[in-house]
Amino acid sequence: MRYVIVGSSHAAVGCVEAIRERDPQGEIVLFSKEGHRPYSRPLISYYLQGKTDRERMLLRGGDFFERMNVRAHLGCAVAAIDAAGHYVLDETGEKTPYDKLLIATGSVPFVPPMEGLEKVQNKQGFLTLDDALELEGRLNPQSRVLIIGAGLIGMKCAEGIAHRVQQVDVVEMAPRVLPAVLDTEAAALVQARMEKENIRFHLGTSAERFDAAEALLKNGEKIPFDLLVLAVGVRPNTALLEQAGAAVQRGVQVDEGMRTTLKDVYAAGDVALSHDSTDDDKEKVLAILPNAYLQGRVAGLNMAGGQDRLPEVFPMNAGGFFDLHMISAGSTRGEEIRVEQETGLKKLYVRDDKLVGFLMLGDVERAGIYTALIRDKTPLHSIDFALIAKAPQLMAFSGQERARKLGGKAI
């Protein structure tokens, strides 16, 4: 059996680990256009902040491929898939046949056309380790950095470099920061926290045009800069699968076992579509990390002969800015229950006797108990909801349920 994996981030690592649980012998060949051993992409901002380093960023240590007996072609992109012939063609022209193939090519930055962008010399994205190293090489304490986009990527970039440069400006078309993750109230708190670190925001506007070292915004402001970071958004990197004839609608269509519409071809991570269990199972690109690993794992188990299914999936984000922590999950479509907190903010969203979403800012302790209520679709009448709304706790469950959770007693 020969497994071929394209990509080397979380989904690929999950796939390798899962294959090796079931098949210690099969041959695994991995291609990655990045020249690095598997590292954590979301850690690139922590790297710039000095909270980690290149060694510690390695997801499974430096000897992962050796331990897992993977033949890795790093810095070697795959150019095409021949689904009928069951082989991939890499950029050197080499053909590698597969029995089972995983495509875990993630996302690519999306850069909308912007007038004058070609005049800007020092511009880049912020998605990969190479992006972070490039940015690090360019910045100095006098740098003025302009970031386009206040999504997670742009905001994390701002946090990562705030103390290394003179000035950070962030432009966002939406009227608030982190528009996909936070509501207006929470976004204002995060923005205020970031502003204390000398990060300036220009919201509800966008770049009208660029000159070599200045942006003119639609609201009339002019922002001089030395470095430009484009963090407008990402889209699934589906090119290979599209060319090979797989069903693609923004993301790649997969079944519960991560199979694409092509025989023996699987997809996992940001490239694949998911069904949001908190939004009527609508098909979406849920480009979130826990999802990537779990999808990679399910793909790997199935590539090695299993019949595994992906568990319930829904949006979720954990993170924070300058020690202001935030965790959110699920949907905000439902009755909003605002829970007064000593500090920070907490909102729960309830629909049809289920918790469908929550947002916590500041005090996020034990948030996973809420996440589990969403995943398990626990009927709220079966628990002490008033108690659990106050603070996440197991006390809110029945004695029988607690005995199962903590006492190892089957129900």
Q: Which of 221, 395, 398, 400 binds another protein (CB under 8 A)?
A: 395
Contact assessment for residue 309 and residue 297, using Cβ atoms and an 8 Å cutoff: no
Q: Is 387 in the site for another protein (CB under 8 A)?
A: yes
Distance CA(159)–CA(163), nearest Å, equals 8
Q: Which sign does the torsion angle of CA 32, 36, 42, 48 carry?
A: negative
Per CB under 8 A, contacts with another protein among 58-117 are: 58-61
Q: Which of 325, 334, 341, 380 binds another protein (CB under 8 A)?
A: 325
Please report, in angstroms and rounded to a whole number, the separation of the first and last CA atoms in the chain: 41
From residue 129 to residue 158, the character string flagging contacts with another protein as x (rule: CB under 8 A) and all else as - is ------------------------------
Which residue lies nearer to another protein by CB, 116 or 319? 319
Q: Is 354 in the site for another protein (CB under 8 A)?
A: no
Q: Is 372 in the site for another protein (CB under 8 A)?
A: yes
Measured at the alpha carbon of residue 231, what is the angle toward residues 162 and 133, in degrees to the nearest 5? 60
Q: Is 305 in the site for another protein (CB under 8 A)?
A: no
Q: Is 318 in the site for another protein (CB under 8 A)?
A: yes
Distance CA(18)–CA(303), nearest Å, equals 9
Supply 237's token pair: 């990197």
Alpha-helical regions (H) of 62-199: 64-67, 129-138, 152-161, 184-195
Q: In 3-state terms, what secondary structure has residue 102?
A: strand
Which residue lies nearer to another protein by CB, 247 or 406? 406
Secondary structure in 3-state letters for 251-313:
EECCCCCCECCCCCEEECCCCECEEECCCCCEEECCCCHHHHHHHHHHHHHHHCCCCCCCCCE
Q: Is 46 in the site for another protein (CB under 8 A)?
A: yes
Q: Which of 12, 28, 30, 57 binds another protein (CB under 8 A)?
A: 57
Q: Which of 32, 40, 237, 274 binds another protein (CB under 8 A)?
A: 40
Supply 247's token pair: 């069903």
Which residue lies nearer to another protein by CB, 57 or 158? 57
Which residue lies nearer to another protein by CB, 128 or 206? 128
Distance of CA 221 to the CA centre of its chain: 32
Distance CA(173)–CA(190), nearest Å, equals 17
Query: What DSSP letter does each residue of 329-390 carry, written as one string?
Result: EE---SEEEE---SSSEEEEEEETTEEEEEEEES--TTHHHHHHHHHHT--GGGS-HHHHHH
Contact assessment for residue 144 and residue 166, using Cβ atoms and an 8 Å cutoff: yes
* Contact region with another protein (CB under 8 A), list: 68-76, 336-344, 346-354, 394-402: 394-402
Per CB under 8 A, contacts with another protein among 8-37 are: 10, 14
Give least dist CB 248 to another protein, A: 26
* Contact region with another protein (CB under 8 A), list: 144-152, 199-207, 240-248, 293-301: 293-301
* Contact region with another protein (CB under 8 A), list: 94-102, 160-168, 237-245, 363-371: 363-371
Distance CA(382)–CA(387), nearest Å, equals 12
Q: Which of 74, 163, 368, 380 binds another protein (CB under 8 A)?
A: 368
Secondary structure in 3-state letters for 82-101:
ECCCCEEEECCCCEEECCEE
Which residue lies nearer to another protein by CB, 116 or 320? 320
Supply 136's token pair: 């690090």
Place of tokens 């946090």: 159
Per CB under 8 A, contacts with another protein among 239-258 are: none
The values of phi and psi at residue 8, to 5°, are -145, 20
Which residue lies nearer to another protein by CB, 93 or 399? 399
Q: Is 302 in the site for another protein (CB under 8 A)?
A: no
Considering CB under 8 A, how many residues would be counted as binding another protein?
A: 52
* Contact region with another protein (CB under 8 A), list: 92-100, 107-115, 194-202, 321-329: 321-329
What number of other Cβ atoms are within 10 A of residue 136's Cβ?
A: 14
Q: Is 362 in the site for another protein (CB under 8 A)?
A: no
Q: Is 306 in the site for another protein (CB under 8 A)?
A: no
Give least dist CB 119 to another protein, A: 36
Q: What is the dihedral of CA 327, 333, 338, 343, to 10 degrees?
A: 20
Q: Which of 36, 144, 275, 366 binds another protein (CB under 8 A)?
A: 366
Could you list the residues that contact another protein (CB under 8 A)?
Answer: 10, 14, 40, 42-43, 46, 51-52, 56-61, 289-290, 293-294, 297, 311, 316-320, 325, 327, 329, 364-369, 371-372, 375, 387, 392-395, 399, 402-410
